[in-house]
Structure 1
Amino acid sequence: MWAAPTTDARLKKRIVRTVIREVVADIDDEASEIVLLIHWVGGVHTELRLPKRRRGQRNSTSGDIIAAVRQLVLIANDDLIAGILNRNGLVTGHGNRWTRERVTAHRSHHKIPVFRPAADGKEPWLNLNKAARLLGVAPKTLRLAAEAGEIEGVHPLPDGPWVFSRSTLGEPAAQRIVHRARQNPKYPTGSHPDQQNLFTSTT
């Protein structure tokens, strides 16, 4: 239940209050650690030791993560971004896994705008599948072209979505990719645009 994606911060607080009676904190100056003694409901005790932050030391999020979030917000909400960051093995400046709440706080601190779907449905930024569907080519065709530098696309994280500008998809470079895909069987154009996709993908 704790690790379930549907479990929010409020429910986790209720769980903590239910199973923990109290937490006693102490400082071990010699080891430069914070000692936490957890008194669980039922009488069991657990000791945790955490490194004590030194004077002048700051736990800040990596600049690469900040840059990735700035790009991901173009196509993804905070919940989805948290999943992408975790899938890439990235953690917060305090070493924690990402949650929707932590992504929201991160955005607020760095003044990164929130993702908002376009009112008219014409998103200015598209993921790989949507961009390929708009061009009428297979996602693999578009991805290979982007990797080769034939069309501009952003890939913030190794295990994460590509991001394409809708305006870029209307430029001559994109049309050349479409023409080549239709003329050369080595570059398949993919399924018919009206065919429904049974699987949803962020890449």
Structure 2
Amino acid sequence: RHHGAPKHGDALLAGLIRCQRCGRKLTLRYSGMENHIPRYSCSRAWMDNGGPHCIAFGGLRVDDAIEEALLGVVGPGAIAAATAAAKEAGERRDQVRDALSRDLEAARYAADRAFRQYDAADPANRLVASELEARWNRALAHAAEVEAKIAMHDAATPALPDPALLGVLASNLKTVWDAPTTDARLKKRIVRTLIHEVVADIDDAASEIILIVHWVGGAHSELRLPKRRRGQRNSTSADIIQAVRQLVLIASDDLIAGLLNRNGLKTGNGNRWTRERVTSMRSNYHIPVFKPAEDGIEPWLNLGNAAKLLKIAPKTLRLAAEADEIESIHPLPDGPWIFARTWLITTAAQSIAERARQNPRYPAGSHPAQQNLFSSIT
């Protein structure tokens, strides 16, 4: 069936998604500060006769799931499809160029004929000569116009894409799909080419959105998505929250922001971290701020201070922590190791220190009088 032309807006399933409970098409509306957040709802019964709403859910997660399923289907044949599309586009441009060339040939013939008619006219017959001259000028102008069109067409014709480049783009199709320059209407045309219909329902017991995707050709697939609570999409991820809970043991908000940025982590809205954003996030999730101990005896130590307490090299302690020979916390891949002072007086910690002092393969600790030129929390 024809689902209609893809409209403006980013929602992929406008006109394609149907309610499993009543069989009606789901309506789409946009919300948010910039009216760009889609929401699908089955409200036709309420709009027609005041009946109850069937289902409603946010469209961002649903569209993300459809994109992932779609790219999984398109991906294996993406290179061949990209090559075929480039070839087809080149053939269409060649057809246009041939048509313009025929137009130019006809225009030049008409201009040549007009000239011969003008040249053969009796100069004494001024009326006829003037008319023939005007025809000749119009024919020349038309020929020049066609030549300009050909020049514009040739200038706008892109070079044939490199097959190797097409292969790179096709192998990373998601990057192309997510690029800001990719037209949303093109995405929706692709969706309509591959998907016949999507039937949606909500499993209230499991709090899941159920999508039955009917692909063109007769295949079906089921997707189950956890139903988000209001405002959950733009919230900070649980992994970042947990990392901050651990980092506040040894680091200020400034340092935490730098560590999160160094690990490529973003806020819920996709922004870089700043001290103010870390402070706001801590306040929102009731995470205490880092405060140095008044007596100078910190209960939590970074790698350097912990190694100094054990009188071994930081590398020795890090290797032991990586081998789980001593209890430690490592919140971020590119971030500090954290040790409780109580963990450093255990038998395991003392064994590591003793082994380092006796085994020459392990790096020795630095001399107490040696100064460190670079302060670090790692």
When normalised by structure 2's length, the TM-score is 0.41
Structure 2 CA distance for partners of 1:185 and 1:109, relative to 1, 3 Å: same
Whole-angstrom distance in 2 between the partners of 1:186 and 1:125: 28
Match of 1:166 among 338, 341, 344: 341
The C-alpha deviation readout for 1:70-100, integer Å capped at 9, x for no partner, is: 0000000000000000000000000000000
Does 2:327 correspond to 1:152? yes
| Structure 2 runs not aligned, ≥5 long | 1-6, 12-33, 40-229
Structure 2 CA distance for partners of 1:61 and 1:179, relative to 1, 3 Å: same
The C-alpha deviation readout for 1:21-77, integer Å capped at 9, x for no partner, is: xxxxxxxx93159xxxxxxxxxxxxxxxx7823455631111100000000000000
Structure 2 CA distance for partners of 1:51 and 1:137, relative to 1, 3 Å: farther
| Structure 1 runs not aligned, ≥5 long | 1-28, 34-49
The runs of at least 4 aligned residues of structure 1 exceeding 6 Å deviation read none
Alignment RMSD: 1.8
Match of 1:52 among 36, 46, 70: 36
Q: Is the 8 A contact 1:32 1:51 kept in 2?
A: no
* Higher helix residue share: 2
Whole-angstrom distance in 1 between the partners of 2:38 and 2:267: 18
What residue number does 1:11 align with?
Answer: none
Match of 1:101 among 259, 270, 276: 276
* Identity over aligned pairs, percent: 69
Does 2:289 correspond to 1:114? yes
What residue number does 1:177 align with?
Answer: 352
What residue number does 1:68 align with?
Answer: 243
Does 2:280 correspond to 1:90? no
Larger radius of gyration: 2
What residue number does 2:8 align with?
Answer: 30
Structure 2 CA distance for partners of 1:175 and 1:53, relative to 1, 3 Å: same
- Using CA pairs below 8 Å that are at least 6 residues apart, which structure has the higher relative contact order? 1
Q: Give the SS at the match of 2:9.
A: coil
2:36 partner amino acid: K
Whole-angstrom distance in 2 between the partners of 1:54 and 1:126: 47
Number of residue-to-residue matches in the alignment: 159
